[in-house]
Structure 1
Amino acid sequence: METLQNEFLTVEVSDLGAELQSIKDADEHEYLWQGDDKYWGRRSPILFPIVCGLYQGTYRTEGGTFQLGRHGFARDMNFRLLRHFDDKVTYVLSETEHTLRQYPYRFMLSVTYKLVDNEIHVIWHVYNTDTKEIHFQIGAHPAFRLPGVKEGDDVKGVLRFDNNGHIERIYGNHEGCITSDRYALEGVQDGLWAFTEEDFKDDAVILDQSQIHAIDILSPVTGEAEVSVEFSAPCVGVWTPYGKKAPFICLEPWYGVHDHLGYKGQLRDKYLMNHLQPGASFMSEYVIRIGEKLAE
C-alpha cells in the first residue's frame, strides 16, 4: 500500500490493480467506498483492455477468437511500483503469458495518481510495445460513499451534471450488452438528477456521445459538491447495485462500453474502440475533487 498526502487529502493505493483504497480529508472523513462483499467488494478498479462485457464473452481479432471476462484483467493483476513521491505515485503493468492468451497484444499501461490541493488527478498512459496495431478500451470505476445514507437506509441522492439540457441514456442489460436504442434520462431538471435505487433496476445508467464531462455528488445538507468527477471520456456509467441498499454510488468515466447485442464483428470495429500503432501511446486524465473547487 502506498500513501499520498498533502494538507487537504490523504490517499492510499494498492499495487493490486493499482486501485485506490482510501480518500480522506484533513478531518479523516472517508469518501471512497471501502468495499464489502455483501454489496460490492471493490473500491475503484481500473477497466482494461475492455470496458463492460462482450457478447457471449468472446471477441475476434488477429484471425482468432478469444475469451475475456467483464472489464478485462487489469483490475486483478499486480502492478509494479515505478516511482513514488509525497504527492504522486506511478504504477505500470505489461503483458504476461497469461494476458497474451486472453489478449494477443503487447502493451504497457501506466497509472499515475497525483494530488493537487483537494484534487486527485488520475492519469492513464497506454503504450503499444507490439509490432502491430493494438486495440483497447480503458475505464474507471470509483465508488463513493453516499452522503447522508447509512447502511440499511434507502439509496437516494442528488447528482449535478455539467449539461443543463436533454440527456439520453443507453441500457446495458440485454445479455450484458447494449442496443442502439436511446431513452431520455428521466427525472433530470436543470442538470440536477435526484435518483433512487429504482433508477438502477436495469443496471448502470450509461451516458455516451460525450454528453457529460463532470458530475458532482451533492450534500443533502448544504447542497454543495461533496465529491466531483471531471473527465474527457466520451462515456460515463453511473451505478449502484440494485436491490441491496448499498450506500455508495459509482461515477465511471469510460473510453469504451459493452458490445452491442449480437455483435460478431472484429474487436477493432466495436463501438468506442481505441487504436494504437506500434510505438504510439494514448494518454488521458480524470480528476476526483473533494469539496468545492478552490479559488484560482
Structure 2
Amino acid sequence: MLVNLINNHLNVIINTHGAEVTSIKDASNIEYLWQADKKFWGRHSPVLFPIVGRLKDDRYKYKDKVYSMGQHGFARDMDFEIIEKFSDMVVMILKSNKDTLKIYPFDFKLKIKYYLVDNNLKANMEVINEGKNEMLFSIGGHPAFNVPFINDYNNNYEDYQVEVIPNKEYQQIPFEAPYINLHSIKKVNLSKPLKLTHNLFYQDAKVMKVDEDRIKCVLSSDKSKRNITVIADNAEYAGLWAAKNAPFVCIEPWWGVADDKETSGQFENKIGLNKLSSKDNFKANYLIQINN
C-alpha cells in the first residue's frame, strides 16, 4: 500500500511494504529520490533492521544456536501496519511473529514515524524490546538520491559533491566486501567536500565512524542551486554508496555496521550492536532536507 504525505513544500510517497520511502518531490515536481531501476539497484530507501550490512556467511550464533539472516535484515521485505495517519504524517509498525522468531529470537516492535515539516522529511525510528531478555540489534537508513537531480540543468555525476559537517578528519572503516576490516582503519580528511566519481564506490561503500551528536551531509553541485541535506542524531556510522556506474548516491545514517571479516560469529560480540533491556526502547532519528 502506498501512502502519500504532502505539504506546501514536498510530496512524499511511502510504501507500507518495508516502510520504504519511494518518492520525494518538491513543489515544482522535481524527483529527488532514486527510482529503483533494477539495472543498477532495485530499491529506493530501505529500512535496515535488525542488522546493518552483512553477517559473515549470513549466519550468527546466539545462545548456542545458529541462525541465518540476509544482508541488512528482514524489515525491508516485510509489510508494516499503519497505526496513525494525517496528510503530512504517518506512523507504521512491524511486530515480531513466528517467521521473524525463526531467524531472530527476540520479541520486538519497530515503529517508524515519517512526517513533513516545511522542506524536511523526518524519520523517527523506535525499537521496543517486548521480550524478557536483553535484545540485540542494529538499525539504519539507506536513502538513495538521483545524481544528477532529474531535470536540473545538464549536470554530470562528477559535478556533484558531498560535504560532511563537521568538516574534519574521520575514521574510515574499510570494506573487504561484503565485510569490514577493523585492522585496516585509516583516517580520511573531510575538511573539504568529497567530489563524486563512479570509481569512488568500486570497492563498496565508504563508511565513517561518527563521534558527533549530529552529523550533516550535503549533496550539491556548483552548477545547481538545489541541494539535499541529510542530518542524523547520534548515528554511530555514516555511509556513502552507489552501485557500479549508477546515477545515484546513498547517504546512510547507521546505528550498526557489517561484520568484521574475522568475527567469531557470536551475536553478543558483534560490532555495532545496540543492547536493549526488557520493555525499554531505542530511538534513531534522521531527516532529509530539500533545498531549492
Shift of 1:87: 1.0
SS, match of residue 227 in structure 2: strand
Shift of 1:272: 1.4
Decide which of 229, 241, 245 is 2:243's aligned counterpart.
241
The Cα offsets for residues 72-104 of structure 1, whole Å up to 9 and x where unpaired, read as 000000001111011110100011211111001
CA contact (8 A) 2:177 2:203 kept: no
How far apart in 2 are the matches of 1:155 and 1:19?
25
**Equivalence for 1:260:** 260
Q: Does 1:197 align with 2:198?
A: yes
SS, match of residue 262 in structure 1: coil
Provide the aligned C-alpha RMSD in A.
1.8
**Equivalence for 2:164:** 161
How far apart in 2 are the matches of 1:225 and 1:275?
39
**Equivalence for 1:272:** 272
SS, match of residue 182 in structure 2: coil
Q: Does 1:170 align with 2:173?
A: yes
Structure 1 ranges of 4+ moved more than 4 A: none
Worse overlay, 224-233 or 174-183: 174-183
Cα distance change, pair 122–213 in 1 and its aligned pair in 2 (3 A): same
Shift of 1:20: 0.1
**Equivalence for 1:220:** 222
CA contact (8 A) 2:54 2:178 kept: no
The Cα offsets for residues 141-198 of structure 1, whole Å up to 9 and x where unpaired, read as 0000113689xx9642211110322233112224534333122337x4x331112111
CA contact (8 A) 2:15 2:21 kept: yes
CA contact (8 A) 2:170 2:209 kept: no
The residue correspondences of 1:1-296 to structure 2 (distance < 5 A) are 1-147=2-148, 155-156=157-158, 157-185=160-188, 188=190, 190-210=191-211, 213-222=215-224, 226-232=227-233, 233-242=235-244, 245-291=245-291
CA contact (8 A) 2:35 2:44 kept: yes
Cα distance change, pair 122–175 in 1 and its aligned pair in 2 (3 A): closer
How far apart in 2 are the matches of 1:6 and 1:174?
41
Q: Report the residue type matching 1:92 in the other structure.
A: I
Q: Report the residue type matching 2:92 in the other structure.
A: Y
Among the aligned pairs, what percent are the same residue?
Answer: 34
Q: Report the residue type matching 2:147 in the other structure.
A: L
Shift of 1:209: 3.6
CA contact (8 A) 1:240 1:246 kept: yes
Q: Report the residue type matching 1:35 in the other structure.
A: A
Cα distance change, pair 175–118 in 1 and its aligned pair in 2 (3 A): closer
How far apart in 1 are the matches of 2:172 and 2:260?
14
SS, match of residue 99 in structure 1: helix
CA contact (8 A) 1:147 1:220 kept: no
Q: Which runs of 5+ in 2 are unaligned?
A: none
Worse overlay, 140-149 or 39-48: 140-149
TM-score, normalised via structure 1 length: 0.91
How far apart in 1 are the matches of 2:150 and 2:82?
35
CA contact (8 A) 1:53 1:177 kept: no
Q: Which runs of 5+ in 1 are unaligned?
A: none
The Cα offsets for residues 118-154 of structure 1, whole Å up to 9 and x where unpaired, read as 001100010001111110000000000113689xx96
Worse overlay, 264-273 or 175-184: 175-184
Q: Report the residue type matching 2:99 in the other structure.
A: H
Worse overlay, 82-91 or 259-268: 259-268
CA contact (8 A) 1:236 1:253 kept: yes
> How many residues end up aligned between the 2 structures?
285
Structure holding more strand per residue:
2
The Cα offsets for residues 248-283 of structure 1, whole Å up to 9 and x where unpaired, read as 100010000011112115212211110111110111
